[in-house]
Structure 1
Amino acid sequence: MSIAVLGAGAFGTALAISLARDGTDITLWARSEANAKQMQLERINAVRLPNTTLPHTLSVTSNIDSIGVFQTLLLAVPMQQLAIFAQKNAHVLASKTLVACCKGIDQNTGLGPVQTLKAALPDAQIAILTGPSFAHDIAIGLPTALTLACEDAQVGTHLQQTLSTSNLRLYRSSDVKGAELGGALKNIVAIACGTAIGAGLGESARAALITRGFAEMQRMAQAIGARSETLAGLSGFGDLALTCASEGSRNFRYGLALGRGEEFDPTVTVEGVATAKAALARAKTLNIDMPITAAVSALIDTKITLNEAMDSLLARPLKEETC
């Protein structure tokens, strides 16, 4: 199996562990030479997954040029760094089969992971792996189901068979737009839910935000030509349910801190922060009403207070519930 995982954060490491657990040789690329050496020697990712041992079939390197021998590359790179990473390493990534393993919308271009990679690497075959998952669950072998979306059915089928493991079940889709969108927008709703819980607004408020947030996701999906059933699946509603209900979600924890008026660890990547701003800009271009996204974006930028955000949502016109 000619597979490498690029990005030794929690999720990239977890995917590499799952793929290597069944005895398959897998290579994990880490940006930091020191981190790569530590993981290779001590057989643990002490910073990101401190309680999980790396299988003996998993090798770790920081030499990006050595990755060129692999045909299938899983890119577990943060969304806001993906474009620069692809451009910088085009000599390694060109003409490969690439699987984006990040979620969000590029704040500079408004593109999702697949479109970002296509812009930089037009000759590559590109898919996205997304859905409800926590890195720790995958790493310790707990059952997890994800969506693998690829426009090319043959490539998608091959990847589905190749990347499925004993604990990782992949469902195939051709709706790349829908899969990208669900994984991006659910993080915004998770911040909103975390904020509500952190501020003591209660479980009923969280349920309302999940439901109306999902309506916003559906509206944008319809506007860009994504399929509604994709948003109702693992990459949309499934990921939304997990992210909005657990402190295992970085976006939810960020919202908790926001609601409590506390500082949040600046070293932790919170994709929903940049995605909220990018999604709001896209919604304005498409003339879509997304009040929760607007409120989260304004809260992050401290343009409004939490009370003002709640007042604006509660003061919206009364209407029939459709979507």
Structure 2
Amino acid sequence: MSLQKKILHLYPNPSSPFRGQNSIAVKNPKYILTMTILLTGGTGKTATRLATLLRAANIPFLLASRRGPATAPKGYPAVKFDWTDETTWKTPFDHASFQAVYMMEPQVPQPWVPMIKFIDFARERGVKRYVLCAGTTAAIGKDGMGRVWEHYIRHDLDFCVLRPPWFMDNLTQPGLAYTIGQLNQISTACRDGLIPFVSVDDIADVAFRALTVEKSYNRDFRISGPELLTYDDIAAQLSTALGRKIEHVRVDGEVRYQTLVRAGVPEYTARFIADIELKTAEGGEAGLGDGVEKVTGHPPKSFAEFVEENKSVWAKA
């Protein structure tokens, strides 16, 4: 079955969404459903959750990532797409027309350069709306995702910029799941920095609405969890839930960087993580946002709820 036929097979009637047990309740929804939605970072945490919401709502989508179908969830349409290889950019457009694109920052130096170039590429092919998952420190025109944000405004595009802090779900990824589950520890350079950890479920929920509502938001949303927590607090909550002592091990920035590199993390990404943790230690993440409730109508998930849902991930072998 061709990819185009696969999309049509999955979504035979996209003009009649929100039926059955998987319907998503939204107040007075008006949705754009004329074309497919392209999800970059297609195998990442937010894009795969977002794809699940779109599928439940019967809205066509296409996942785009460097490994394409090889790592996509079973049955989800996907293509190979690499921000650093412009020859792959046309591949999604060979299979569908797109109304909107969900954009995730690639872990490469000066990521805004290929992202801006791709926006222009997509504009020429009729894409009208862009939803960007940035970070809390993003600001219009600032190096990083602020450059992408500025480009949306300069070209009068429909857009929404999501500014989440650290993901709760990082703790369930293989590296941290192992150190928590088997070594009973979390190592960071965050010291006593406060963080409003947010669930990927909430980010995806906001992104879903930003991509599909009839009238584009054309603004940013600070998306956060409901509370400010240190990594000491995280370790304490995990200890209580798991019934054993979980320790937050404090390290300096250079040690953190070197540890990540030795674990196989690319140098650019390792430096990015270490720098973010040092900024967090200085209070860079100490603020709450109301984006989840403002957009979705429900409060964000608490860390306690997240731990209860995922306790089995950190169980001792």
Q: TM-score, structure 2 length as denominator?
A: 0.43
Report the structure, 1 or 2, having the larger helix content.
1
- Greater relative contact order (Cα < 8 A, sep 6+): 2
